[in-house]
Structure 1
């Protein structure tokens, strides 16, 4: 049992206790945020804001710039999404779950490519191409940027981006030595799959004639 424990958590041996506690708190609020998103609950945003603020601080300390930018972007998009989700499209209905339009698909591609270029430029400027994880980090940043934008607009397809990005992030964060965060993304993957099914079912119900 001890070798298994050491395999997963030995990388924390040199971390300050304060950082470990912060990561656990951020992971808990991250779980809550994704769960509330699956439930189509507005609490996805306040819980997400707490998680992302903590991760911005931690990732800055760990010099993981791409990951830090993801969470800074999550924070800003959480505020935008909070507004969209509470905005009424008419006197009695809030913004509904919908599928992406052709225009939004093109916009998603643009955001993906623009993010790749931006993150590449940041890593180039700070000379952070010192590990293969930087290239994967650039890719996941672009994937998650699109996913967060689509979620804020309550688009069903946001879950597809989360699933892909989460699957990549599980081994990536474990390799980086962030076991709790890696486990978080594993659970995120499972919740995202169920979230896609739940939102798709919700969308079908909305489309049914009254």
Structure 2
């Protein structure tokens, strides 16, 4: 009951800007699942707000992550828009397992190194967890822009870890948003997987 009360209090205390950020974040995810180009403007403006909010809350890596998201929103817009002129560029792709293993190991090592620096030389809270979610979100956002199917599996893990982080920091509205993110990431994987299978079947039929 106290947890529910804390969440409701968090929503009451939200600024208008945070409400806007949450709404835009939800719009981004729904549009991304539908492969709608306009997901990227929604991402750009939501992350602009979160960049400032997380910096003020001493989640430095989360703030830097959202600054990176702003750049990737522009990158994603350009890549997806070009894809309209070339259908092959818009197809969902799938990476082999060994490629994912290499990516995960390298990202984890970078995450540990950055976490150590943040823990010992800055005022960051939850330095290692913050670094983990940030580093993996960086590479996963790139996978989204490149339409790699497995990006949604990465997001499920990242979003679940982020929920604990936001709970500990008292960002209850954003915690609820990330519960939504986790569920929608599972739906996103299902949706993209079905489209990927259809495109593969169509490709094989043309051979």
Query: Same-fold call, TM > 0.5?
Result: yes
How many residue pairs end up in the alignment?
202
Which residue of the other structure, out of 133, 149, 154, is the alignment partner of 1:156? 149
Alignment of 1:1-210 (within 5 A): 6-10=5-9, 20-88=15-83, 91=86, 93-101=88-96, 103=99, 106-107=102-103, 109-128=105-124, 133-208=126-201, 209-210=205-206
**C-alpha separation in 2, matches of 1:104 and 1:136:** 21
**C-alpha separation in 2, matches of 1:58 and 1:127:** 16
**DSSP 3-state at the match of 1:87:** helix
C-alpha spacing 1:4/1:167, structure 2 compared with 1 (3 Å): closer
**C-alpha separation in 2, matches of 1:181 and 1:74:** 17
> Which aligned runs of 4 or more in structure 1 are off by greater than 4 angstroms?
89-93, 101-105
Please report the TM-score for the alignment, with normalisation by the length of structure 2: 0.85
- The unaligned stretches of length 5 or more in structure 2 are none
**DSSP 3-state at the match of 2:15:** helix
Question: Greater CA deviation, 142-151 or 41-50?
Answer: 142-151
Pick the structure with more helix per residue. 2
Deviation at 1:39, TM superposition (A): 0.9
User: C-alpha root-mean-square deviation of aligned residues, in Å?
Assistant: 2.6
Deviation at 1:5, TM superposition (A): 5.3
